Amino acid sequence: MAAMDKARQVLKQYYGYDHFRRGQEAIISQIMDGKDTLGMMPTGGGKSVCYQVPAMLLSGVTLVISPLISLMKDQVDTLANIGIPATYVNSSLNPAEIDERLAAASKGAYKLIYLAPERLEFPPFLHLLENINVSLIAVDEAHCISQWGHDFRPSYRLIEKLISQFKPKPVTLALTATATPQVKKDICRLLQIPEENTVATGFARENLHLQVVKGQDRDAFVLDYILKNANQSGIIYTATRKETERIYNFLVKNGIRAGKYHAGMKEAERDSFQDRFLYDDISVMVATSAFGMGIDKSNVRFVIHYNLPKNMEAYYQEAGRAGRDGEESDCILLFAPQDIHTQTFLIEQSANEDRKPGEYAKLRKMLDYCHTEGCFQQFILHYFGEKETQPCGKCGNCLDTRAKTDVTKEAQMVFSCVKRMQERFGKTMIAKVLAGSNDQKIRQFGFDKLSTFGIMKDKTQKEVAELIDFLTADGFLRAKDGTYPVLMLTKKAVEVLLSKKQVFRKESVRAQQIASDNL
Ligand code: ADP
Ligand code: ZN
């Protein structure tokens, strides 16, 4: 029987599914042909099947490298329930247990072994693996291998050595749900996967309704949303543990069946809330980003980000936990400018010096997402390197029916001001010059002598700053990489200056309100 027919049979027999999903078939068929492969699929796309099905077809063992230690036991138990023999090796076991499992593995007791990458740091451990006949090495969360990714783990760099120690060389499958073009290149280079062996299903999630909400009382918004969507399952992400506690208490006080989850809680309490959420005993989980990795709850109907996430990768991964069952779901980001300080603070606290500029650049992209007036789904797809995309037709911006006004002239004023300030300043200074601020620094630099000084003085400095945010988000201005966000003109902006291109902006909410006040 052809390999793919056997694969379909395994899918039906063990999982009860009739068809492979998009991408799964292509990935599995490449593996069965012995090709090293990079699989890129969105969260919930069905990555596990891509190595579990081949594991059942190949003669030897499949090693699965995964950073999610806390989930390994669950994954292995789930496999046992459907009749697939698997085990795991991580720091929760003592040396005798590890020896025992690996000895059983060398006798062919398991089809899959889950490994924490940290194990690879102990040379004696690598030695123990030598007697095992390994057919496939699956690297889950493969973006962890790249410095450019948002979750770099040095131990992932040891995987290459692991692969090369087996003769004949096993097939390598790298899997990820978040990889920019740069990260993708890194994964292929570091795991020696030919780039043309990439299978990408595209990151678009048709059932997600992306939305950014600005300028609202966030507590009131969240409570109102939950009451309107009573008994729907959802997650509320916050930037800090303190916020998680506060919002959890607020919701419980208002009679919502909520749970909480963050790394500062006792494990037993955390696990208990997680289980109750998984079994729909509570409907809303308030959590930090510690919650959700690898959790397979299919009926999450909404993910609300109460605070600004640190970058687009984190955002899409967390938002993507909504709607894994394919049903329509909401992903709402509540934007408040003061959150920028929280994220800046967190970068200053955690990142080491040489990583900081990169973290700031990612944070700025996240802000661009909040300010864009284009399709949110398209913005995300562009970020992950997909070029040929269409507006989704269902996100907050696609459904925004406000009229567009021509702001080409204002945009030209901003661009020529940026140019005259020699593309060496950030948003605040540019806005001050345009609004004609009487700031001492402006005079120090002699900017009050520029022809663009005060040409927008009919607007407040805040309004000008908002216009600059919009122009940045829509790709007319770009921040030079670095800790301090210096704004420069892009090719698009130059075209506007040359009157080759127009700029349209949605009527501001305020203008709309005034209009409706007059009715
Ligand atoms: P990922 O790791 O990509 O986020 P999972 O491997 O956890 O996703 O799969 C997500 C969900 O999709 C799981 O509930 C899984 O059982 C289901 N699934 C995977 N493949 C199929 C398929 N071919 N048909 C139906 N459901 C599938
Ligand atoms: Zn859209």
**Higher pLDDT, residue 252 or 214:** 252
The verdict on the CB of residue 298 being under 6 Å from ligand 1 is: yes
pLDDT for residue 483: 57
Length of the chain: 519
Query: Helix, strand, or coil here: 406?
Result: strand
Instruction: Give the span between the Cα atoms of 43 and 395, in whole angstroms.
Output: 19
Q: How confident is the model at residue 519 (pLDDT cuts 50, 70, 90)?
A: very low
Q: How confident is the model at residue 45 (pLDDT cuts 50, 70, 90)?
A: confident
Confidence check: pLDDT of 196 > 60 = yes
Say if pTM beats, i.e. exceeds, 0.90.
no
**Higher pLDDT, residue 393 or 326:** 393
| DSSP assignment string, 343-382 | HHHHHHHHS-GGGHHHHHHHHHHHHHHHH--S-HHHHHHH
215-221 LR contacts (CB < 8 Å, sep 24+)? 215/336, 215/509, 216/334, 218/306, 218/334, 218/336, 219/247, 219/250, 221/334
Longest CA–CA span in the chain (Å) reads 82
Cα(473) to ligand 2 centroid in Å equals 15
Q: How confident is the model at residue 192 (pLDDT cuts 50, 70, 90)?
A: very high
CB 392 within 8 A of CB 375: yes
Confidence check: pLDDT of 296 > 90 = no
- For ligand 1, atom 25: residue with the closest CA: 17
The β-bridge partners of 37 are 173
Residue 276 CB coordination number (10 Å): 15
pLDDT for residue 502: 93
Confidence check: pLDDT of 167 > 70 = yes
CB 184 within 8 A of CB 40: yes
* Mean pLDDT value of segment 171-185: 93
The verdict on the CB of residue 235 being under 6 Å from ligand 1 is: no
* Mean pLDDT value of segment 422-431: 94
Cα(380) to ligand 1 centroid in Å equals 22
pLDDT in tens, 284-293: 999 999 998 7
Instruction: Give the span between the Cα atoms of 426 and 47, in whole angstroms.
Output: 42
ipTM associated with this complex = 0.97
pLDDT in tens, 475-509: 899 887 655 678 999 999 999 999 999 999 877 65
* Mean pLDDT value of segment 334-361: 86
Which atom of ligand 1 lies closest to the CA of 24?
Answer: 23
Confidence check: pLDDT of 460 > 60 = yes
pLDDT for residue 398: 94
Confidence check: pLDDT of 513 > 70 = no
Q: Tokens 């009451």 — which residue?
A: 227
* Mean pLDDT value of segment 305-319: 95
Query: Helix, strand, or coil here: 94?
Result: coil
CB 511 within 8 A of CB 445: no
Cβ contacts of residue 109 below 8 Å, gap of 6+? 85, 87
pLDDT for residue 396: 95
Cβ contacts of residue 71 below 8 Å, gap of 6+? 293, 294, 295
The verdict on the CB of residue 44 being under 6 Å from ligand 1 is: yes
pLDDT for residue 338: 82
User: If 0-12 CB within 10 Å is exposed, 13-18 middle and 19+ buried, where does residue 317 land?
Assistant: buried
Torsion angle of the four alpha carbons 156, 162, 163, 166, in this order, in degrees rounded to the nearest 10: -170
* Mean pLDDT value of segment 59-86: 91
Cβ contacts of residue 198 below 8 Å, gap of 6+? 37, 38, 39, 40, 184, 188
Confidence check: pLDDT of 76 > 80 = yes
The verdict on the CB of residue 132 being under 6 Å from ligand 1 is: no
pLDDT in tens, 255-283: 999 999 999 999 999 999 999 999 999 99
CB 6 within 8 A of CB 57: yes
Nearest to 56, CA basis, from 130, 3, 104: 3
Q: How confident is the model at residue 516 (pLDDT cuts 50, 70, 90)?
A: very low
**At 27, which amino acid appears?**
I
Cα(210) to ligand 2 centroid in Å equals 7
Query: Helix, strand, or coil here: 509?
Result: helix
The verdict on the CB of residue 265 being under 6 Å from ligand 1 is: no
Instruction: Give the span between the Cα atoms of 6 and 9, in whole angstroms.
Output: 5
Cα(115) to ligand 1 centroid in Å equals 21
Mean pLDDT of the chain: 91
* Mean pLDDT value of segment 108-114: 95
How far is the CA of 517 from the CAs of 455, 511, 512, 514, in angstroms? 29, 10, 9, 5
Neighbours of ion ligand 2 (CB under 5 A): 375, 377, 391-392, 395, 398
* Mean pLDDT value of segment 75-93: 93
pLDDT for residue 515: 39
192-197 LR contacts (CB < 8 Å, sep 24+)? 192/36, 192/160, 192/163, 193/36, 193/37, 193/38, 194/35, 194/36, 195/38, 197/30, 197/35, 197/36, 197/37, 197/38
User: ω before 168 within 30° of 0 (cis)?
Assistant: yes
Confidence check: pLDDT of 429 > 70 = yes
